[in-house]
Structure 1
Amino acid sequence: MKKTLSIILAVILLLSAVAHIMSPGFYAPMIPSFIPVSLGNILATITEFTTAILLLIPKYRKWGGLSFMALMITFLPLHIWDMFRDVPIVGPQPLTTIRLVFQFAFIFAGWWIYKTSKVI
């Protein structure tokens, strides 16, 4: 189960990293105003790609889980902020609530991978 979950999360991260490159404008409203949009997209791309690779390599999966958990915690305030906007970025209000629930599930998934993986 851990291997399957790690692969699923890695694929999500890789797709997200590619999306940051292909459609940086889509992410612009989600990037805090004190961070230049191009820098935010570059940092997100590098972090997501690196975390995905860590999750895919059994020797580094433990650290991939920790990195994934940290990334999801970092994104949490952005999702909460979006939930309370008059016009949320991701769509109607119910979607922001669903996304927030998934955010907590992702944080738990990263923690679980970290806690159940062994350093080889």
Structure 2
Amino acid sequence: MKVLKIITAIIFGLFLLFGAYNHVANPEFYAPMIPDFIPESVANILATITELIVGVLLIIPKYQKWGGLGFAILMLAFLPIHIWDLTKELPAVGSKTAATIRLVIQFIVIAIGWWIYKKSK
């Protein structure tokens, strides 16, 4: 189980590092997902910094516990955006079905972050 936790943490850490990079390299990709009342540049900067820090924490075994907790909290913070997107006539992900699947996946990744946190020393 320990190896599974380490591999899972590293995979999600790399996923977050890619996301952090993509917020800088391709910020327009995220524009449809950012609510109108949040400035896009601020959202992208905050997401980049947060995803970078949490991604690094998940990759370094000594800090995976805190990375798992940070990941769970970050995914919880993104949850309202997924719910908001589902309520739109045309969700950013393209369809109501895709938005529903994305919302379900969001709960799963929250649980994975919590699992990493609880299984780490």
Partner Cα distance (1:83, 1:32) in 2: 12
Question: What whole-Å deviation, never above 9, does each CA across 1:63-85 have from its counterpart, x for those lacking one?
Answer: 00000000000000000110111
Question: What whole-Å deviation, never above 9, does each CA across 1:41-66 have from its counterpart, x for those lacking one?
Answer: 01000100110000011111000000
Partner Cα distance (1:12, 1:59) in 2: 19
Task: Give TM-score, length-normalised by structure 1.
Answer: 0.94
What amino acid is aligned across from residue 34 of structure 1 in structure 2? F
* Aligned equivalent of 2:101: 98
* Aligned equivalent of 1:31: 34
Task: Give TM-score, length-normalised by structure 2.
Answer: 0.93
Q: Is the 8 A contact 2:14 2:59 kept in 1?
A: no
2:30 counterpart SS class = helix
* Aligned equivalent of 1:66: 69
Determine which of 36, 51, 55 is the counterpart of 1:52. Answer: 55
Question: What whole-Å deviation, never above 9, does each CA across 1:60-116 have from its counterpart, x for those lacking one?
Answer: 100000000000000000001101110000111111111111100100001001111
Q: Which runs of 5+ in 1 are unaligned?
A: none
Superposed CA RMSD in Å reads: 0.9
Runs of 4+ in 1 over 6 A off after TM superposition: none
What amino acid is aligned across from residue 92 of structure 2 in structure 1? I
Partner Cα distance (1:26, 1:2) in 2: 30
Q: Which runs of 5+ in 2 are unaligned?
A: none
**Sequence identity percentage:** 57
Partner Cα distance (1:113, 1:22) in 2: 29
What amino acid is aligned across from residue 58 of structure 1 in structure 2? P
Equivalent pairs counted in the alignment come to 118
